[in-house]
């Protein structure tokens, strides 16, 4: 029973950063700019929030630094990838390598292996929901998370509205589907790509702060541990739709919670659960591609 | 190739390097150290002393192969981002074969290890290759994410079934003496460097002088046209990915048998040899000679990082910063390669003259 309770709680806990990355990343995906730098964005937010909060003693300044660092990376990524038309995958990989390199450099100069905030009580960040927390099992799972977690789940429908019901969302999707058509209508396509990447950067900043400051008040280098790529897998599986991609984010979060909790009993074999997101993604991509080709064939476009 | 194209091509490789080093110098200045001294130690010790240079060549061997593994696929406009995973898979099982197969003969044992390592590399490359060739699945995304799956699988294998029981940290058993490459002389260089060089020359020959090489270039230029002229593009994609996987597996095997001797969780370093290969392929502009120079240069950086740590107060992480900046700047073309700067200026002048005469 206690194991079940902790798996349920951890599922929400591990879903949060992945979900945030997914909800931000779908816009770049739809705009045709695959942002694999989410991992780097997230890590820089984790690092800068802890660094600045540690130096100034202010949580608010920590948040500000996290967002500032993601905005800088956003400008670098968008300028190189959108304005200069570089290969976005390579730029993304470079950012994913650059951020831990800088973090490692700074940690080395400071002479420590990780950053902590001894004065910050992580328990204070957690919000217990009245009423809900008294429900057996479910209460334990849904209550006692930081505000960011609740926001993340509330964002699922909001991002759906933003993507399908607002002009911004429609234009971003048009730019991704047919850039020439969008340009012929007079849309400034580059501007929408910048905006799409910006949404991802802001959400990744939230995810990064959640990962380091809100959960544990601790930063260790490379602590994002591939979560950005799991988010990419979820985005691909859900084909960029907010609800679908969010569902996969939750599935992958549950898989992570299972891997962590079952590891205590099953030993190293439990870490094999960690490959679930990647295998699922490969299978979904294959299925989508096969179905698409079959439809094309039925309509007479052989080869496609 | 006409002469005019070489200038911008070279500049497009050199400018990002200079920019990255420039930013690195500013960072070093900011922490109150002398960048010229740091760079001098970093490159001087690994390129200008005999022992240092031989060490550099030793570490260049796997990098040469991973750079080549990525370049052969890029040439056909296929993106094998899974070189890291293929290298780890190959290296891991080459190490297992080296530790468990009781073959007495050193040559035979090494050959078996290479067969296992390259076989594993090919096998792992086949998943995205078959999916790409027959289901049209985007190989870039699949290869990229499968790396992470492979890291997890190997983490399980090395902490579970294949863990060396007596060791204080997670690692597989050390390979037997008969599978090891021994150092030649006082530097770290081993016979594996010549194996890598041989493989490099072979691939160069295949790419430049055989039908396969020609077809790969044709597919890269225009796959539909290649298909229309009768090339079997599907099959070529598979052959190419197999070649790439084999090179990655060879790199992993060689690194295992000549440097590491056992699999640890940080076998490939950080960032891994496969990612380094990407930088080298980009830096060398996918041409064999360029890759050879880039691999040696990059290896000098890597070995220089340790010297920087030893002889200056600059943390060696600065090298990782410079490296990732180089990749970042290499992703965009600073100069148009098709028209030289001069040609473009002339064209502009010509247009102006036209406008005036009209």
Weakly modelled stretches of chain A, pLDDT under 50: 302-304
Residue spans of the domains in chain A: they are 2-224
Among A127, A244, A102, A212, smallest CA distance to B24 is for A102
The winner for highest mean pLDDT among A231-240, B59-68, B154-163 is B59-68
pLDDT for residue B92: 95
E strand or H helix at A114: strand A114-116
Nearest residue of A to residue B336, measured between CA atoms: A84
Instruction: Report d(CA B124, CA B117) in Å as an integer.
Output: 11
The answer on pLDDT for B218 being more than 90 is no
pLDDT for residue B346: 57
Residue pair A179/A168 in contact by the 8 Å Cβ criterion: no
Q: Which residue has the tokens 């959640």?
A: A210
Asked if B149's CB is within 8 angstroms of A105's CB, the reply is no
User: Phi-psi bin for B176: left (phi > 0), alpha (psi -120 to 50), beta?
Assistant: beta
Please write the tens of the pLDDT for every residue from B16-51.
889 999 999 999 999 888 888 888 888 888 888 888
pLDDT for residue B356: 45
Asked if B141's CB is within 8 angstroms of A286's CB, the reply is no
Please write the tens of the pLDDT for every residue from B302-311.
888 888 888 8
pLDDT for residue B234: 85
pLDDT for residue A45: 95
φ, ψ of residue A242 to 5 degrees: the values are -60, -50
Q: Confidence band (pLDDT; 50, 70, 90) for B343? A: low
**3-state DSSP assignment of residue B224:** helix
Distance from CA of A76 to the nearest CA of B (A): 9
Among partner residues A94, A286, A293, which is closest to B327 by beta-carbon distance?
A94
pTM: 0.86
Nearest residue of B to residue A221, measured between CA atoms: B270
Distance from CA of A125 to the nearest CA of B (A): 32
Give the tokens for residue B96. Answer: 């297992």
Length of chain A: 304
pLDDT for residue B44: 85
Q: Quote helix, strand, coil % in chain A, to nearest 5.
A: 80, 5, 20
Q: What is the DSSP string of A216-241?
A: HSEEETTTTTTHHHHHHHHHHHTTT-
Could you say which DSSP state residue B3 is in? G
Residue range B239-260: average pLDDT?
94
Residues of B whose CB is below 8 A from A34: 141
Give the tokens for residue B260. Answer: 């590491």
Instruction: Report d(CA B178, CA B100) in Å as an integer.
Output: 11
pLDDT for residue B3: 43
In B, what residues contact A, Cβ < 8 A?
Answer: 27, 31, 79, 81, 127, 131, 135-138, 140-142, 144-146, 148-149, 152-153, 155-156, 159-160, 270-271, 275, 278, 282, 315, 317-318, 320-321, 323-325, 327-328, 330-333
More confident residue, A263 or B148: B148
Asked if B332's CB is within 8 angstroms of A84's CB, the reply is yes
Residue pair A227/A42 in contact by the 8 Å Cβ criterion: yes
E strand or H helix at A165: helix A147-165
Among partner residues B131, B149, B320, which is closest to A278 by beta-carbon distance?
B149
Domains of chain B plus CATH, in order, are: 1-33+316-358 (no CATH), 59-312 (1.10.3470)
Whether the bond into A111 is cis, omega within 30 of 0: no
Please write the tens of the pLDDT for every residue from B313-342.
888 888 889 989 988 998 887 665 554 555
Give the tokens for residue B282. Answer: 């980009």
Q: Confidence band (pLDDT; 50, 70, 90) for B4? A: very low
ipTM attached to this prediction: 0.86
Among partner residues B141, B160, B324, which is closest to A98 by beta-carbon distance?
B324
Distance from CA of B7 to the nearest CA of A (A): 20
Give the tokens for residue A289. Answer: 């591609």
| CA geometry: angle A221, A224, A227, nearest 5 deg | 160
Q: To the nearest whole percent, how much of chain B has pLDDT over 70?
A: 91
Going B186 to B189 to B192 to B198, the CA torsion angle's sign is negative
Instruction: Report d(CA A49, CA A214) in Å as an integer.
Output: 10
pLDDT for residue B344: 52
Residue pair B280/B68 in contact by the 8 Å Cβ criterion: no
CA atoms in the 13 A half-sphere facing the CB of B268? 30
Nearest residue of A to residue B282, measured between CA atoms: A90
The answer on pLDDT for B296 being more than 90 is yes
Residues 6+ apart with CB under 8 A from A179: A32, A189
Q: Which of A268, A290, A295 to mutate to test the interface with B (most CBs of B within 10 A)?
A: A268
E-strand stretches of A153-304: 218-220
Asked if B317's CB is within 8 angstroms of A105's CB, the reply is yes
pLDDT for residue B330: 86
């Amino acid at each position: 029973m206690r194991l079940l309770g902790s798996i349920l709680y951890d599922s929400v806990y591990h879903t949060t950063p992945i979900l945030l990355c997914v909800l931000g990343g779908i816009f770049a995906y739809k705009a045709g700019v695959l942002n694999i730098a989410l991992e780097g964005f997230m890590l820089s937010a984790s690092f800068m929030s802890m660094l600045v909060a540690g130096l100034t003693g202010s949580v608010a300044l920590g948040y500000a630094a996290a967002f500032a660092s993601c905005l800088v990376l956003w400008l670098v990524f968008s300028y190189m990838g959108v304005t200069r038309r570089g290969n976005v995958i390579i730029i993304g990989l470079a950012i994913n390598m650059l951020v831990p390199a800088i973090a490692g450099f700074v940690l080395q100069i400071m002479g420590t292996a990780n950053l902590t905030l001894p004065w910050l009580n992580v328990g204070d960040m957690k919000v217990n929901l009245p009423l809900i927390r008294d429900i057996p099992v479910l209460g334990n799972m849904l209550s006692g998370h930081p505000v960011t977690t609740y926001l993340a789940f509330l964002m699922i429908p909001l991002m759906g509205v933003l993507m399908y019901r607002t002009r911004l969302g429609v234009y971003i999707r048009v730019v991704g589907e047919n850039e020439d058509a969008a340009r012929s209508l007079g849309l400034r396509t580059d501007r929408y790509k910048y905006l799409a990447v910006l949404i991802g950067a802001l959400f990744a900043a939230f995810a990064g702060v959640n990962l380091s400051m809100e959960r544990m008040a601790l930063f260790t280098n490379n602590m994002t541990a591939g979560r950005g790529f799991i988010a990419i897998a979820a985005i691909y599986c859900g084909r960029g739709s907010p609800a679908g991609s969010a569902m996969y984010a939750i599935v992958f979060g549950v898989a992570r919670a299972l891997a962590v909790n079952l590891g205590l009993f099953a030993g190293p074999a439990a870490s094999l659960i960690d490959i679930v997101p990647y295998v699922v993604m490969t299978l979904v991509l294959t299925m989508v591609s096969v179905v698409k080709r079959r439809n094309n064939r039925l309509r007479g476009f052989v080869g496609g | 190739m006409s002469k005019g194209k070489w200038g911008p091509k070279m500049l497009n490789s050199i400018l990002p390097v200079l920019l990255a080093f420039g930013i690195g110098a500013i960072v070093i200045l900011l922490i109150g150290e002398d960048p010229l001294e740091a760079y001098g130690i970093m490159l001087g010790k690994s390129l200008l002393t005999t022992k240092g240079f031989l060490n550099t060549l030793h570490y260049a061997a796997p990098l040469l192969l991973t750079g080549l593994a990525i370049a052969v696929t890029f040439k056909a406009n296929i993106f094998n981002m899974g070189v890291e995973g293929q290298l780890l898979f190959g290296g891991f099982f080459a190490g297992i074969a080296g530790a468990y197969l009781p073959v007495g003969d050193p040559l035979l044992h090494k050959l078996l290890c290479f067969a296992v390592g390259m076989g594993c590399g090919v096998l792992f490359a086949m998943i995205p290759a078959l999916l790409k060739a027959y289901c049209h699945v985007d190989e870039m995304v699949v290869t990229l994410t499968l790396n992470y799956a492979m890291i997890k699988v190997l983490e399980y294998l090395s902490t579970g079934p294949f863990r060396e029981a007596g060791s204080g940290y997670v690692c597989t058993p050390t390979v037997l003496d008969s599978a090891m490459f021994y150092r030649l002389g006082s530097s770290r260089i081993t016979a594996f460097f010549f194996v890598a060089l041989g493989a490099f020359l072979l691939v160069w020959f295949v790419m430049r002088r055989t039908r396969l090489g020609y077809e790969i270039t044709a597919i890269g230029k225009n796959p539909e046209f290649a298909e229309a002229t009768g090339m079997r593009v599907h099959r070529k994609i598979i052959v190419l990915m197999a070649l790439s996987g084999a090179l990655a597996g060879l790199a992993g095997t060689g690194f295992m048998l000549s440097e590491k001797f056992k699999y640890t969780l940080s076998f490939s370093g950080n960032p891994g040899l496969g990612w380094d290969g990407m930088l080298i392929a980009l830096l060398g502009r996918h041409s064999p000679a360029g890759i050879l120079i880039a691999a040696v240069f990059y290896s000098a950086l890597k070995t220089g990082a340790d010297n920087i740590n030893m002889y200056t107060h600059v943390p060696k992480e600065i090298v990782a910063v410079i490296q990732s900046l180089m990749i970042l700047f290499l992703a965009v073309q600073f100069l148009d390669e098709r028209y030289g700067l001069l040609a473009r200026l002339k064209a502009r002048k010509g247009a102006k003259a036209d406008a005036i005469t009209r």
